[in-house]
Amino acid sequence: MNMSRNTIIEKLYNGFSQFPGFWEIDSIICRATAGSPYRSILIRNLNLSIGSTVLDMACGTGLNFPFLINAVGSSGRIVGVDNSEKTLKLAKNRIARQNWSNVSINKLDGPEFNGKMVFDAALCTFAIEIISPYRETIQTMIDSVKLKGRIGYIGFKYSKNPLLKMINPLWRIACLLGGGADLERNVPEYLRQNMKEVFFKEVYAGFYYIGIYEKQ
């Protein structure tokens, strides 16, 4: 029986999450820890305030949650979605350790989430190049936010740096083997064609982007 790409990715992340140390090491190498400057830039520019509601699509182990909690306070609400049960178990442990009563998580495939126009903002970090049904997931995020709500991404891209672009072929393989990210999608271009871009920054020597879009 042929397994779909989506099922393979789900199994891959369930496998990674058997070893919580994987996430620690991965996030340090990728500058994606819970204190990552990239997460901070993204979340600062989502126009969140105390009491806001926010959707964290493909939330993983919840590395965005500390920044989100700071932004929305105890009266705000954070909803995480991810399709990897084992990864969500780590997120659940983080929520319990921190005693966050306003963070909930759902085991769902991105496009299965149903929360029309209820969120002030939505984000998806280090995941949109990995999620197999990525266009549908982007649409789900657009549908979930209110008018003028912001949708933010941190994603993987090829570097345009004149010195570093020679390692793009290696980066492509590392992204694919290291976590299933597909750089051939050119997600920033897709987002630009379908939404109003309000912020864009290349970081990590041009191998990541931070993009924010507004619902019109």
Does 80 contact ligand SAM by CB under 6 A? no
Q: Which is nearer to ligand SAM, 65 or 213 (CB)?
A: 65
Q: Quick one: which of 13, 153, 158, 213 contacts ligand SAM (CB under 6 A)?
A: 13
Q: Which is nearer to ligand SAM, 72 or 181 (CB)?
A: 181
Cβ neighbours of 190 (radius 10 Å): 14
Q: Structure tokens of 156?
A: 């993987």
Q: Structure tokens of 205?
A: 């020597």
Does 87 contact ligand SAM by CB under 6 A? yes
Does 125 contact ligand SAM by CB under 6 A? yes
Does 33 contact ligand SAM by CB under 6 A? no
Q: Quick one: which of 42, 46, 59, 187 contacts ligand SAM (CB under 6 A)?
A: 59
Residues 163-192 that bind ligand SAM (CB under 6 A): 179
Q: Structure tokens of 64?
A: 């965005």
Does 127 contact ligand SAM by CB under 6 A? yes
In the complex, minimum distance from the CB of residue 52 to ligand SAM, in angstroms, rounded to a whole number: 19
Q: Quick one: which of 43, 55, 58, 103 contacts ligand SAM (CB under 6 A)?
A: 58
Does 211 contact ligand SAM by CB under 6 A? no
Give the whole-angstrom CA distance, residue 2 versus residue 67: 40
Three state DSSP letters for the chain: CCCCHHHHHHHHHHHHCCCHHHHHHHHHHCCCCCCCHHHHHHHHCCCCCCCCEEEEECCCCCCCHHHHHHHHCCCCEEEEEECCHHHHHHHHHHHHHHCCCCEEEEECCHHHCCCCCCEEEEEEECCCCCCCCHHHHHHHHHHHEEEEEEEEEEEECCCCCCCCHHHHHHHHHHHHHHHCCCHHHCHHHHHHHHCEEEEEEEEHHHCEEEEEEECC
Q: Quick one: which of 84, 140, 144, 159 contacts ligand SAM (CB under 6 A)?
A: 84
Does 131 contact ligand SAM by CB under 6 A? yes
Q: Per CB under 6 A, which region of 121-129, 155-163, 165-173, 208-216 contacts ligand SAM?
A: 121-129
Q: Which residues are near ligand SAM by CB under 6 A?
A: 6, 9, 13, 32, 58-60, 63-64, 82-84, 87, 109-110, 125-127, 130-133, 179
